[in-house]
Structure 1
Amino acid sequence: MLQRFFIFCSGADTQILETCSNGERNKYAGIGATVFFTAVMAFIASGYALHTVFDNVYTAIFFGLIWGLLIFNLDRYIVSTIKKRDNIKSELLQAAPRILLAIIIAVVISKPLEMKIFEKEINQVLLEEKNAMTLSNKEQLALQYTPTIEGLNQEITNLKAEIASKEAETNALYDTYISEAEGTAGTGLLGKGPVYKEKREKHDAYLAELNQLKETNGAKIENIEAQIAALGVDYNSAVENSQPIIDGFDGLMARINALGKLPWFPSFFIFLLFLAIETAPILAKLLAPRGEYDYKFEEQESVVATWVTQKVEQRKLLLATDGALNEKVYADIKDEEELYRYKKEKAEELLRLQADSFQNIQIKGL
């Protein structure tokens, strides 16, 4: 049962193989098994690749099965159409398109399995890229908020500097009127005289202005700090909203790019492995020695070709003979005087009938 299934996979003529030896049937069963397992590998690889795209098991299995059947049908067709002859160049010429296609298919089906084999290394590369993207994203978002925040901070600095300047002037007036009272400066007289009173009033006026300035600038600083806090909240919100996009940066293309950043040597050998698997059916057919089945198959083709050629030649001869006979018959008829007289009488009769009919029509018109 299994042998018959693999022979079916090889695309060989089962009727001819039934007349061949058991060894010949085993050879083609082996070729068919290679075709079958190549399709299985294509199904697994494409199913995994499509799972990374659609993230759905049933969708991946469905399209992977279609891809596997496509590869199976293609391999079976090409293997069955390669005819074993004594000319190796002719066989290679038949196999050249399939070998070229095998290289393309090997690249397609090896990449998904490479991504699975090197999944941990790819995840590490993706993690580093995500971290770099997160930092870059924060820096780019910060460029939108930093100038505004720096401008607001500068306003706070200016307001505080204005308070500090007014406070310094007030303190200087305080030292002045205290020194006047102690007699260590100003008039040099000990006690609270008119000059002391004047300087004290000036200090008290500056102190009132200082308190008013602190209250006004304090309110402004609180308002600016609230604006800075709001901008900080907006910045953090923008970072949080954009982070899921970065976290989702692990699709098929991202993983292929990450795989490309790993050392090429292991990936190259995996590619060679799948190239060998993909070309296995065609190589198995090319390397297999010419056997009993090939001779019988060639004989059957020769019989059919000879029969078709004979039929074509017979039809050509029949057509040529029929044409020659027709020419001879019509030539003989041309020489018959009796037939000539008969046709002449009929033609004259026809002309008389036409003339009578025309005359009747003219009379009716009058």
Structure 2
Amino acid sequence: MLKSFFILCSGADKNLLEGCSEGEQTKYVGIGATVFFTAVMAFLASAYALFTVFESIYPAIAFGIVWSLLIFNLDRFIVSTIRKRESFKSELLQASPRIVLAIIIAIVISKPLEIKIFEKEINTVLLKEKNAMALNNKKEVANYFKTDLDKNKADIDSLKSEISKKEKEVNALYETYIAEAEGTKGTMKLGKGPVFKEKIAKHNLASAELDTIRKNNLAKIAEKELLNKQLQADLDKKVTETQPIIDGFDGLMARINALSKLPSLPSVFIMLLFLAIETSPIIAKLLSPKGEYDFKLEDLETALKTTLEQDKYQRSLLVKTSAEMHDKVYADIANDKQLYDLQRKNASDLLEMQSNNFLEKQKKTL
């Protein structure tokens, strides 16, 4: 049963192969097994490739089955249509489209398995890239809020500076009226005279202004600091919201790019392995010697070709002979005097009828 299945996979004529030797049958069993296992490898590789994209097993299996059947049918068709010829170059030329397709398939299919094989190394590269992206993201978000934060900070510093400036003014007036009272500066008279009262009045006015400024500015500073906290909270929220996008940066394209940053030699060997697997049915067919089955198949094809050429030649002779016979028949008829007179009489009658009919139509128009 397994032997029959692999012969079916090889695309060989089962009835024709049954009359061949055991060794010839074994050759085609091997070719069919190569075709079958190539399709199995195509299923595994394509299913895993799709699983890395959608992370769902059912679409991956469905796509893998479709892809493996496509590869199986294509390999079986090409292997069954390659005819053993006297020239290996002509056989290779016949198989060249499948070889080109095998190269493309090997490149496409090998990548997902390379990603799986070098998963730890790729994760290390992705981790570095994610960290760099997280830092850049924080800088970009900080730059986005920087204008508002800087303006808010400048306003707070300005309000504090205004309070500090007024405090210095009040302290200076305090020292002035104390010095006047002690007689160390100003009028140089000890005691609380008119000048002292004038100076303490200025101090009291400035102190009242300081209280007002301090009250107003501290309220504004509190608002600014609250706004500052809100801006910082928005900044942190923005960073938190964008972080999952960075954490999710591990799709198929990201992993392929990360794979390209690793040494290329291992990837080349894996691709060559898949190229060998994909081309193995064609190579098995090309390398197999021309055997009993090929001679029998060639005999059937040439016999059919000869029969068709004979039929075509006979039909062409039949057409040619028939044409010559008809030419002779009509030549004899053309020389028959009785038929000529009859044809002349019929033509005359027809012309007379046409003339009479025309005359009747002319009369009706008058």
TM-score normalised to the size of structure 1?
0.93
Give secondary structure in 2 for the equivalent of 1:3: helix
Tell me the equivalent position of 2:161.
161
What is the rounded CA distance, in whole Å, between the counterparts of 1:364 and 1:231 in structure 2? Answer: 108
Deviation at 1:182, TM superposition (A): 3.3
Deviations 1:118-147 (A, max 9, x none): 222222222222222222122112212101
- Tell me the equivalent position of 1:235: 235
Offset of residue 9 of structure 1:
1.0
User: Which range moves more in the overlay, 241-250 or 93-102?
Assistant: 241-250
Distance 2:194 2:359 in 1: 161
Tell me what 2:340 maps to.
340
> Is it true that 1:294 corresponds to 2:294 in the alignment?
yes
Equivalent in the alignment of 1:307: 307
Q: Partners in 1 of 2:140 and 2:359 — Cα distance? A: 107
Displacement, 1:82? 0.9
The CA deviation at 1:265 is: 1.0
Please provide the CA RMSD for this pair. 2.2
Verify: 1:184 aligned to 2:196, yes or no.
no
Question: Partners of 1:272 and 1:176 in 2: how far apart?
Answer: 95
Change (3 A) 1:189 1:346: closer
Question: Which secondary structure does the structure 2 equivalent of 1:94 belong to?
Answer: helix
Q: CA deviation at 1:187?
A: 3.8
Equivalence for 2:143: 143
The aligned runs of 1:53-68 (5 Å cut-off) are 53-68=53-68
Residues 216 and 332 of structure 1, relative CA distance in 2, 3 Å threshold: same
Of stretches 334-343 and 6-15 in structure 1, the one that deviates more from structure 2 is 334-343
Is the deviation greater in 291-300 or in 165-174?
165-174
Query: 1:194: how far off?
Result: 3.6
Q: Which segment drifts farther, 326-335 or 19-28?
A: 326-335
Shift of 1:359: 7.1
1:8 counterpart = 2:3: no
What is the identity, as a one-letter code, of the residue corresponding to 1:50?
Answer: L
- Once residues 344 and 131 of structure 1 are traced to their aligned partners in structure 2, the CA distance between those partners, rounded to angstroms, is 108
In structure 2, the residue matched to 1:269 is 269
Of residues 287-296 and 331-340 in structure 1, the stretch that sits farther from structure 2 once superposed is 331-340
1:245 Cα deviation after fit: 2.2
Q: Distance in 1 between matches of 2:246 and 2:2?
A: 51
CA distance in 2, matches of 1:365, 1:267: 99
Q: How much has 1:335 moved relative to structure 2?
A: 2.2
Q: Which runs of 5+ in 2 are unaligned?
A: none
Paired residue for 1:25? 25
Farther-moved stretch of structure 1 (33-42 vs 51-60): 51-60
Amino acid at match of 1:264: S
CA distance in 2, matches of 1:212, 1:47: 76
Query: Structure 1: where are the runs of 5+ without partners?
Result: none
Deviation string 1:34-86 (CA, Å, 9 cap, x unpaired) is 11111111111111121222232211211221111111111111111111112
Distance change in 2, residues 1:173/1:331 (3 Å): same
Match of 2:94 in 1: 94
